[in-house]
Structures are given as C-alpha cells and as structure tokens.
Amino acid sequence: MRRDVFQAIADPTRRAIIMLVAVQSMTPNALAEHFDTTRQAVSKHLRILTECELLKQNQSGREIYYQLNGDKMKEIDHWLAQFKKIWESRFNQLDDVLATLKKEKKSNI
Amino acid sequence: MRRDVFQAIADPTRRAIIMLVAVQSMTPNALAEHFDTTRQAVSKHLRILTECELLKQNQSGREIYYQLNGDKMKEIDHWLAQFKKIWESRFNQLDDVLATLKKEKKSNI
DNA sequence: TATTTGCGAAACCAATCGGTTTCTAATTTA
DNA sequence: TAAATTAGAAACCGATTGGTTTCGCAAATA
C-alpha cells in the first residue's frame, strides 16, 4: 500500500498525533489517552504515519516510543514552496490578463 | 458536509488542479484535458476544492473559470509554522532527555 | 511461574471516496 | 430556431477509510 504524506495529514487525529509527538516521543497508550478512541485505533494511525515515514519507532522492552521524522515534514514544506513560487510569479505573466480580457470581451458584446 | 483544506489536498489530482489554477484560472473542460479522467470527475474535485474555499468560481456566460484563493493556502502554511515552532523548540525541553534517560535506565537493568 | 501489561494483527462494519454513465439546464453558435 | 457546447446533478459502483472487538504474543511484574 502506497502511503503518502498528504494523505497522512488529511486526518485530524493524525495531525494531533504529529503535534504531540513533535514535543516528545510517546507510546501508543500514552497517545491514546489524548483521544476519544481505542488504543487500537491510534495504533492504526501510527502505522500509517510510520509507513509514510513521518514517524519512527523506538522500541524499549515492550514499549514502543514513536518519534517524529522532521525531515519528512519538509515534503509538505517543499510542495508549499513550489506552489508559492507559481502563485507569486503569476502576476508577472500575461495569461491571467489575457483570460480576463477575453472574458470581458465576451460578456460586453 | 464538512470540508477541510487538508482533506482537500490529500488527493494528487486535486493538488495538480491547484497548481494548474495557480498559474491561471481555468474551466473544468480545460482542466480535464490535463488528466486521464472524465470532466465530471474533475468537476467533483472542483466542487470539493470550492467547498473548502481553496477555489473561487468566476462565471462568464456558460463557462466557469476556477481561480485559486491564495489566502486559504495559508491555513496549511499556518499549521506547518505551528509545527515548526514546536519542533524547533523541543530541543530546549527536558522532556526528550528525560524520556531517553528513563528508557536507558530500564533497558540497562 | 502465573498474571498483568503493552502492543500489533485480524476480522468485521458503516461511511466515505473517486470514478463512471446518464440526464438536465443554460448559453453559444450555425 | 435548431444543434452544439459547457457544466453541474444524480444514480450507481467497487475500493478505501476510520472505527470497533477479539485475539495472540512478548515483556514486566507479583
């Protein structure tokens, strides 16, 4: 199953997990206390976050500490930067102006 | 139906639409040419993007130009900034150190 | 050693998703 | 005015999602 960072952060619970784990590594049980669901449900979220490499596991006996992989978050950053580049440079392009003119021409006839 | 920006950008086709529309406003038909799906499928994506206010409609006769609402993209930006704040300040906190010590103590016995 | 604890896996379920085809309405255009 | 074009709505479909309960396994503890 192909896991995607964007699909991973689509779920609010997973976004909350990311924030919690960003502060400090946590076990599934500790995380589950913050939510109104079962540990198993949290475990499923952790699996998805781990599969797309947003989290890393750190086993200590029978406990598993989940910690954030900050680097992976940069993928979102990168996409946003890419967008901003286009968004900010679009004012230098004639495309929008032309589209507007075309539209106005049509509706003014 | 509650529409969420994060859920909206979870789909790769929708992310591509965002990029295309960031360059210049486009109609559903023009957008659909860039994808291997029907116009109706693209229309559904546009509906979702519009509902969460990432896109705005601009009708011109029977054509509807979809244009990007750059402000809404800032929501993602804001979330990322929030995360970075936590992520970068966590090194100043003792939590991680304490957790590590606790872990090491346990596994060394 | 027996019991408890922490965890993931599996099986199941209703709801949602992304896609299709078909249909309807409105605006161009011939 | 008739035909073509643009676009959303509706009905449908299989796959995926996020949740549950039940289970098994390994590690800690009594």
**Residue A74: strand pairing partners:** none
Burial of A92 (0-12, 13-18, 19+ CB in 10 A): exposed
- In the prediction, which pLDDT does B1 show? 54
Q: How far is it, in rounded angstroms, from Cα B75 to Cα A83?
A: 14
Counting every residue, how long is chain B? 109
Work out the pLDDT band at A2, boundaries 50, 70, 90: low
Put simply, the answer to whether B73 touches A83 (Cβ < 8 Å) is yes
Q: Residue A7 to residues A27, B24, B95: CA-CA distances in angstroms?
A: 23, 26, 29
Q: How far is it, in rounded angstroms, from Cα A12 to Cα A58?
A: 24
- In the prediction, which pLDDT does A25 show? 96
Counting every residue, how long is chain A? 109
Q: Does one domain contain both B39 and B60?
A: yes
* pLDDT by 10s per residue, chain B, length 109: 558 999 999 999 999 999 999 999 999 999 999 999 999 999 999 999 999 999 999 999 999 999 999 999 999 999 999 999 999 887 665 555 555 544 444 433 2
Burial of B1 (0-12, 13-18, 19+ CB in 10 A): exposed
Q: Does one domain contain both A27 and A55?
A: yes
Q: Does one domain contain both A9 and A45?
A: yes
Q: Which domain holds residue B95?
A: 72-108
- In the prediction, which pLDDT does A89 show? 83
CATH classification of the domain holding A10: 1.10.10.10
Mean pLDDT score of chain A? 87
Q: At what angle do helices B39-51 and B12-23 cross, to 10 degrees?
A: 80
Overall domain count for chain A: 2
- In the prediction, which pLDDT does A109 show? 24
Which chain A residues are closer than 8 Å to B58 by Cβ?
A: 103
- In the prediction, which pLDDT does B93 show? 59
Question: B32 CB contacts (<8 Å, ≥6 apart)?
Answer: B38, B39, B41, B42
Q: Does one domain contain both B53 and B26?
A: yes
**Segment A61-105, tens digit of pLDDT:** 999 999 999 999 999 999 999 999 999 887 665 555 555 544 444
Q: Does one domain contain both B43 and B95?
A: no
Nearest by CB to B83, from A4, A19, A103: name it.
A19
**Which residue from B30, B21, B74, B77 is spatially nearest to B49, judged by alpha carbons?**
B21
Q: Does one domain contain both A64 and A13?
A: yes
Q: Which residues touch strand C (CB under 7 A)?
A: A 27-30, 39-40, 43, 46-47, 57, 62-64, 106; B 1, 7, 10-11, 13, 37-38, 40-41, 44-45, 48, 60-63
pLDDT at A18 over 70: yes
Residue that wins the pLDDT comparison between B87 and A6: A6
DSSP B35: S
Q: Residue A48 to residues A41, A44, A54, A74, A95: CA-CA distances in angstroms?
A: 11, 6, 9, 18, 41
The angle at the Cα of B48, spanning B42 to B52, to the nearest 5 degrees, equals 145
- In the prediction, which pLDDT does B104 show? 45
Q: Does one domain contain both B86 and B48?
A: no
- In the prediction, which pLDDT does A107 show? 38
Question: B73 CB contacts (<8 Å, ≥6 apart)?
Answer: A80, A83, A87, B5, B18, B54
The angle at the Cα of A102, spanning A98 to A106, to the nearest 5 degrees, equals 170
- In the prediction, which pLDDT does B26 show? 97
